[in-house]
């Protein structure tokens, strides 16, 4: 699976990579090199991050579905209980 970024997000990511290299390594990295690095990260590491996010979302949804029974469960056969309480 390939992770695609919008044109705007890709441009921001490339600019961020360029800034990171300059700030942390005191080295200028060109636009083409930054773009290639971004492509590598998206292709090689991106699926691991994506899969982890899907797994986290799945766990959260399972927890919410399990909680659903307790949150919206209605007690059954309660009509006669109200008469028993009056006695």
What confidence tens digit (pLDDT) does each residue in 11-48 have?
A: 999 999 999 999 999 999 999 999 999 999 999 999 99
Q: Ramachandran region of residue 26, left (φ > 0), alpha (ψ -120 to 50) or beta? A: left
DSSP letter for each residue of 16-62 = HHHHHHHHHHS----HHHHHHHHHHHHHHTHHHHHHHHHHHHHHHHH
Structure token pair of residue 61: 């949804």
Asked whether the whole model's pTM tops 0.75, one would answer no
What crossing angle do the helices spanning 31-44 and 7-25 adopt, rounded to 10°?
110
């Amino acid at each position: 699976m390939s992770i695609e970024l919008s044109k705007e997000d890709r441009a921001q990511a490339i600019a961020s990579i360029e800034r990171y290299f300059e700030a942390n390594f005191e080295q200028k990295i060109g636009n083409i090199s930054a773009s290639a690095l971004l492509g590598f990260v998206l292709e090689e590491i991106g699926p691991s991050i994506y899969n982890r996010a899907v797994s986290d979302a799945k766990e959260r949804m399972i927890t919410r579905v399990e909680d659903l029974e307790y949150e919206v469960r209605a007690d059954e056969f309660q009509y006669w209980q109200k008469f028993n309480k009056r006695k």
